[in-house]
Amino acid sequence: MFDIFVKSHFSAGHHLRDYPGNCERPHGHNWKIEVTIRARKLDKLGMALDFRVAKDGVKKVVDTLDHIDLNEHPAFKECNPSSENIAVYIFENLKKTLTTETYAPYSVEVRETDNCGVIYREDPSAT
């Protein structure tokens, strides 16, 4: 197995509906993202996945979140734009473009700060 990772970031505002504290008020973060794509084998060039392909795929998804009010994003109209839900959103969208017979998204890490974040992995028994 090979785990390829790509780091990215985006800036956006949000608020957590019904949160019992300061996060219920509008505020923003400079989120840091790390995506891991797991590959089972190498191609004829000796690569599990071209980094350029991985970076482009991650950029397309992250760009949909950059410099907006996340509460206005269609994905977060019904659920809070928490780090957890943002990680799921990124993961689900990457599955659409970065999944082949030999590789697929494995995890998405979302950090609100350098010291706080979440890592989302799909439950393998659910697939």
Residue among 15, 48, 52, 7 nearest 31 (CA): 7
Clarify whether 72 is annotated catalytic: no
Please pick, among 15, 23, 92, 122, the residue that the annotation labels catalytic: 23
Clarify whether 9 is annotated catalytic: no
Please pick, among 9, 24, 27, 67, the residue that the annotation labels catalytic: 67
Please pick, among 34, 84, 92, 112, the residue that the annotation labels catalytic: 112
Q: How far is CA 44 from CA 38, 50, 56, 61, in A?
A: 17, 12, 21, 28
* Residues taking part in catalysis: 23, 67, 112
